[in-house]
Amino acid sequence: MKFASVRVVTRDIDGLVEFYKRLSGIEAVRPADGFAEMRFEGATLAISAEHLIELFNVGAATSAANRSAILEFEVEDVDAVFERMNASGATIVMPTTSMPWGNRSLLLRDPDGNLVNIFSRPMS
């Protein structure tokens, strides 16, 4: 089995795609209207317009309702990401912090309120 992607459902696909593009520098691939993929090294973040869920699977997912999953991205320079995202007006939940286990971590909320952890591992 291959883990393919995580999909986030949204009412504002363009806003969410722009947030993750600003965060990562990666351009979205849009294979269909109302659907985009951000293809990261090792994983894909799929972004789907809520109207597609309503069209095919009414009630299966609700946009901007997540309060349990955290999207996590490993980077080399958490402080640089903090500066870029803070300057863009992103919602900062926790500024760059050194965690007890050694990671540097930054917590953000995307435009739909999903929690996003940006972290770097300690140098070995």
Per the prediction, the chain carries an average pLDDT of 94
**Alpha carbon distance 116, 9 (integer Å):** 15
Q: In residues, how long is the chain?
A: 124
**Which domains does the chain show, CATH number per domain?**
5-120 (3.10.180.10)
For 70-92, the pLDDT digits (tens) are: 999 999 999 999 999 999 999 99
For 22-67, the pLDDT digits (tens) are: 999 999 999 999 999 999 998 999 999 999 888 888 888 889 998 8
For 97-123, the pLDDT digits (tens) are: 999 999 999 999 999 999 999 999 987
Q: What is the pLDDT of residue 81?
A: 97
**Alpha carbon distance 80, 77 (integer Å):** 6
